[in-house]
Amino acid sequence: MVIKPAIDHGQQLTRPEGQVIGFVDTKEQFDTVTKILKAAGYAAPTIIALKGEDGVDLLERLQQTFNFGDGEDALTEFAIRELQAGHYAIGVEAKDRDDALKVANLAEPLGAHSFSYFGTWVNERLTR
C-alpha cells in the first residue's frame, strides 16, 4: 500500500502521543522514506503523512482543540511552515524512545530531518 498524505475532510487529528514526527522536502524523499519504513516493519496504518493546505488545515484544527505546551506549539508552528513550503510531515507510531530513534535513524540518511518524539510524559527533539 502506498502512503499518501491525508486529505482534510473536517476530521480531527489525534494528539501526537506515541509518535515520532519528522519532515522531508521532496516527493522523491517522501516515497523513499515511506518505502524504507514499510520494509523495516512499520505498517502503512501506523504512518501518517501531511502535505499542503490539507495538512495545514488539519494542524490548525488540532491547535484549536488541544492545549499544547510551548514545545508542542513550537513544533506545530514549525510543521505548518514546512507544509506551506511544500514539504511533507511524516508521523510514525513508536512504542518508545528507542523505536522513535530507529525511525529517525532509518529516515535521516534519506533526507528526512527535524524528528521529534512524543512520549507519554516527555517530548524530545531527536534530530536537527
pLDDT in tens, 115-128: 999 887 777 778 77
Longest dimension (CA), the chain: 36
Q: Does residue 70 carry a pLDDT above 60?
A: no
Residues with Cβ within 8 Å of 8's Cβ and at least 6 positions away in sequence, in order, are: 53, 54, 55, 57, 58
Q: What mean pLDDT is reported for the chain?
A: 90
Q: What is the pLDDT of residue 47?
A: 96
Q: Decide which of 67 and 54 is more confident.
A: 54
CATH topology of domain 19-125: Alpha-Beta Plaits (3.30.70)
Map residue 50 onto helix, strand or coil. Answer: strand
Residues with Cβ within 8 Å of 79's Cβ and at least 6 positions away in sequence, in order, are: 21, 23, 50, 55, 59, 89
pLDDT in tens, 3-21: 999 999 999 888 888 999 9
Helix ranges restricted to H, the chain: 27-39, 52-65, 70-84, 97-107
Map residue 78 onto helix, strand or coil. Answer: helix
Radius of gyration (Cα) for the chain, nearest Å? 13
pLDDT in tens, 99-110: 999 999 999 999
Q: Which helix (H) or strand (E) holds 110?
A: none
